[in-house]
């Protein structure tokens, strides 16, 4: 069988050495004193010199063609404003936000880029008032092995984020762009980078290594990194509060289910295993991503379809796989469920595969725990799809979950997120809030 010696390996890893022009990255030395915080001259916040604790924390999540923001009161953690600019760089770019007065704004901004959209956000938020922030927090997808925790943004940090773009080509360059834009607009404000991979840097070596020649880890740091770390960390912390158990004594399995999906095992407050690997393509079936496939599939399709390895990885497995590829309907689980309810057999198969593969991953993750305090569902699908949660639990009978149909249909509301009876495996629905987690980390690091 093709690739039978390397089951469940990252599809991204299978072509990593071929697709990217790899060279061993020069590691940044760690000085006893941190380098100066990244600053430039000129900009929106120039001259304010304000570092008052009462000033809000601005959180920026910069995507390849989008910019999402949230503004938090660091004392109360209350969201003050939020919004998103989408389809940036196109004629249909638009902005939707809720301002400091709770007023909704929607406008089209043809040709807007990250800088102009963020400037427009600031103009709206600053309407009739002086707008200032205490600090800015950024979501960065890939931090490699160097960034095990949030860090103050410096020029060397930005350069290293850029160097790691090989591992997250759609996400890291966008994060750098967001940092650069914020630097120009708020040159005197500290910025913090919070990495999706950081929470998973506590994985033991036997959990993060691939069974490939060790030299490739030594040369290129090829290993399993994991993603959605900020989300897994947040919901596990919330779950510990709900069950009234110290976070560093609790054990959870967290399933973050959205367009991207991953599961993680958390033991005593630390991630000890996760489903994603070198890239966000490994692991669970997702909206358009295939998740785990036999590495031999690349060579087989290359011969049969006469397509490049890069095209197979980035087009077939990343953009045309997952729910979309199997159902032929959509990457949106809601639409796939609707099609299945109308008798679409491929849609039914897509849902069944999605749920079964998640359950299989959850059972695999239990190997890293000594007990399970709770199974957590989060993300757009995890928080809102009662049918998916119910189907997943049918595949987990060995763990003895006792689903409460009414609680599940209500997504655990009014029951502290609980969707199961008080006996058997406790299952919780907890809304993730990556922006709040980033705001917390930013506030701590800039206090």
DSSP 356-383: HHHHHHHHHHGGG-S--SEEEEEHHHHH
pLDDT, residue 165, reads 87
d(CA 264, CA 207): 12
Residue 18 has pLDDT above 50, yes or no: no
Bridge-based pairing of strands 251-257 and 374-378 is: parallel
60-64, 209-213, 258-262, 280-284: the lowest-pLDDT one: 60-64
Residue 354 lies in a domain: yes
14-23, 292-301, 386-395: the lowest-pLDDT one: 14-23
Residue 243 lies in a domain: yes
**What integer is the mean pLDDT of 104-114?**
92
**pLDDT per position as a tens digit, 348-359:** 999 999 999 999
Other CB atoms closer than 10 Å to residue 210's CB: what's the count?
A: 18
Residue 28 has pLDDT above 60, yes or no: no
- Indicate whether 280 and 338 sit together in one domain: yes
**In the structure encoding, which two tokens stand for residue 287, read together?**
């909206």
**pLDDT per position as a tens digit, 241-262:** 999 999 999 999 999 999 899 9
Provide φ and ψ at 120, rounded to 5°.
-65, -40
Domain boundary among 142, 169, 195: 195
Residue 38 has pLDDT above 60, yes or no: no
**What integer is the mean pLDDT of 428-433?**
96
pLDDT, residue 11, reads 54
d(CA 97, CA 84): 6
**What integer is the mean pLDDT of 91-101?**
92
pLDDT, residue 185, reads 86
Strand order across the beta sheet in which 374-378 lies: 270-274, 261-267, 251-257, 374-378, 427-429
Per the structure, how many domains does the chain have? Answer: 2
pLDDT, residue 399, reads 97
Indicate the DSSP class of residue 252: E
pLDDT confidence of 447, banded at 50, 70, 90? confident
- Indicate whether 177 and 273 sit together in one domain: no
pLDDT, residue 6, reads 40
- Indicate whether 188 and 323 sit together in one domain: no
**pLDDT per position as a tens digit, 373-428:** 999 999 999 999 999 999 999 999 999 999 999 999 999 999 999 999 989 999 99
Residue 46 has pLDDT above 60, yes or no: no
**pLDDT per position as a tens digit, 133-169:** 999 999 999 999 999 999 999 999 999 999 998 888 7
- Indicate whether 370 and 236 sit together in one domain: yes
Residue 290 lies in a domain: yes
**What integer is the mean pLDDT of 214-226?**
96
Residue 290 has pLDDT above 50, yes or no: yes
CATH number at residue 140: 3.30.420.40
- Indicate whether 252 and 303 sit together in one domain: yes
- Indicate whether 188 and 241 sit together in one domain: no
Residue 263's Cβ-side half-sphere holds a number of Cα atoms within 13 Å equal to 28
- Indicate whether 342 and 414 sit together in one domain: yes
d(CA 267, CA 368): 8
**What integer is the mean pLDDT of 43-54?**
43
Bridge-based pairing of strands 135-140 and 104-108 is: unpaired
- Indicate whether 81 and 147 sit together in one domain: yes
- Indicate whether 234 and 321 sit together in one domain: yes
pLDDT, residue 33, reads 41
**What integer is the mean pLDDT of 35-50?**
37
pLDDT, residue 99, reads 92
d(CA 140, CA 115): 18
Residue 202 lies in a domain: no
- Indicate whether 63 and 158 sit together in one domain: yes
43-47, 123-127, 229-233, 336-340: the lowest-pLDDT one: 43-47
**What integer is the mean pLDDT of 120-130?**
81
Residue 48's Cβ-side half-sphere holds a number of Cα atoms within 13 Å equal to 20
pLDDT, residue 128, reads 61
Residue 289 lies in a domain: yes
**In the structure encoding, which two tokens stand for residue 255, read together?**
């399933």
Residue 10 has pLDDT above 60, yes or no: no
CB 118 within 8 A of CB 181: yes
119-123, 230-234, 299-303: the lowest-pLDDT one: 119-123
Residue 99 lies in a domain: yes
Domain boundary among 177, 195, 213: 195
- Indicate whether 301 and 372 sit together in one domain: yes
Catalytic positions? 196
pLDDT confidence of 22, banded at 50, 70, 90? very low
Residue 27 has pLDDT above 70, yes or no: no
8-12, 183-187, 188-192, 416-420: the lowest-pLDDT one: 8-12
Range of the domain at 294: 229-435
pLDDT, residue 45, reads 39
Other CB atoms closer than 10 Å to residue 53's CB: what's the count?
A: 10
Residue 21 lies in a domain: no
Q: pTM of the prediction?
A: 0.84
**What integer is the mean pLDDT of 73-93?**
91
Domain boundary among 169, 195, 221: 195
Residue 203 lies in a domain: no
Indicate the DSSP class of residue 97: E
- Indicate whether 189 and 239 sit together in one domain: no
């Amino acid at each position: 069988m093709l690739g039978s010696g390397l089951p469940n390996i990252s599809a991204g890893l299978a072509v990593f050495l071929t697709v990217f022009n790899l060279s061993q990255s020069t590691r940044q030395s760690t000085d006893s004193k941190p380098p100066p915080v990244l600053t430039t001259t000129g900009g929106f916040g120039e001259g304010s010199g304000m570092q008052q604790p009462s000033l809000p924390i601005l959180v920026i999540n910069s995507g390849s063609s989008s910019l999402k923001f949230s503004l938090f009161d660091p004392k109360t953690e209350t969201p003050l404003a939020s919004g998103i600019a989408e389809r940036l760089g196109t004629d249909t770019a638009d902005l939707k936000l809720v301002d400091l007065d709770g007023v909704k704004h929607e406008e089209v901004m043809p040709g807007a880029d990250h800088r102009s959209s963020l400037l427009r956000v600031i103009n709206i938020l600053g309407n009739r008032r002086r707008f200032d922030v205490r600090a800015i927090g950024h979501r960065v997808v890939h931090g490699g092995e160097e960034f095990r925790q949030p860090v103050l943004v410096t020029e060397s940090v930005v350069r290293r984020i850029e160097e790691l773009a090989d591992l997250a080509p759609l996400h890291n360059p966008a994060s750098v762009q967001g940092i650069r834009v914020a630097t120009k607009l708020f040159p005197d404000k500290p910025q913090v980078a919070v990495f999706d991979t950081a929470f998973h840097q506590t994985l033991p070596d036997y959990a993060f290594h691939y069974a490939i020649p060790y030299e490739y880890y030594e040369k290129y740091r090829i290993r399993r990194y994991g993603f959605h770390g900020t989300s897994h960390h947040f919901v596990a912390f919330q779950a510990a509060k709900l069950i009234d158990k110290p976070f560093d004594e609790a054990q959870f399995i967290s399933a973050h289910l959205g367009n991207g999906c991953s599961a993680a095992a958390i033991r005593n407050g630390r991630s000890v295993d996760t489903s994603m690997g070198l890239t966000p393509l490994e692991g669970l079936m997702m909206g358009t991503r295939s998740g785990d496939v036999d590495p031999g599939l690349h060579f087989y399709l290359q011969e049969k379809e006469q397509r490049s390895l890069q095209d197979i990885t980035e087009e077939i497995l990343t953009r045309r796989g997952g729910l979309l590829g199997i159902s032929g309907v959509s990457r949106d689980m809601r639409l796939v469920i609707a099609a299945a309810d109308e008798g679409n057999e491929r849609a039914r198969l897509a849902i069944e595969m999605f749920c079964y593969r998640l359950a299989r991953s959850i059972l695999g993750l239990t190997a890293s725990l000594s007990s399970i305090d709770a199974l957590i569902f989060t993300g757009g699908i995890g928080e809102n799809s009662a049918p998916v949660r119910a189907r997943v639990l049918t595949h987990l009978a060995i763990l003895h979950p006792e689903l409460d149909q009414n609680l599940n249909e209500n997504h655990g509301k009014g029951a502290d997120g609980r969707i199961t009876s008080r006996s058997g495996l406790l299952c919780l629905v907890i809304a993730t809030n990556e922006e709040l987690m980033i705001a917390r980390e930013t506030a701590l690091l800039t206090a």
